[in-house]
Structure 1
Amino acid sequence: MTLNILFLTITINKRQMSLEEFRHNEMVEKMIEDNKTRQTMLRPF
């Protein structure tokens, strides 16, 4: 009987964001929050 086992090593590194990516993500998050605020104002209770 032959047992073949494959050992696999996975390394995960955190990706460094550039300044432009960071600013873009902040802008997107701000826009999402603004839209949520608008939706709550327009929703009838």
Structure 2
Amino acid sequence: MTLNILFFTITINKRQMSLEEIRHNEMVDKMVEENKTRQSMLRLF
């Protein structure tokens, strides 16, 4: 009788964001919000 067992160890680490990445993401979020408000204003007309 043969018993084959395979073990995996998976480690997940949260990736640290650099200051530049944080600023970029904030800028993108701001632009998306501005576009949403513009679109909502155009729908009113």
TM-score if structure 1 supplies the norm length? 0.84
Task: Deviation per CA, 1:1-45: give whole Å up to 9, x if none.
Answer: 423121101111001111100000000000001011111111148
Give the number of aligned pairs. Answer: 45
5+ long unaligned stretches in structure 2: none
Residue identity over aligned pairs, in percent, reads 84
TM-score if structure 2 supplies the norm length? 0.84
| CA RMSD across the alignment | 1.6
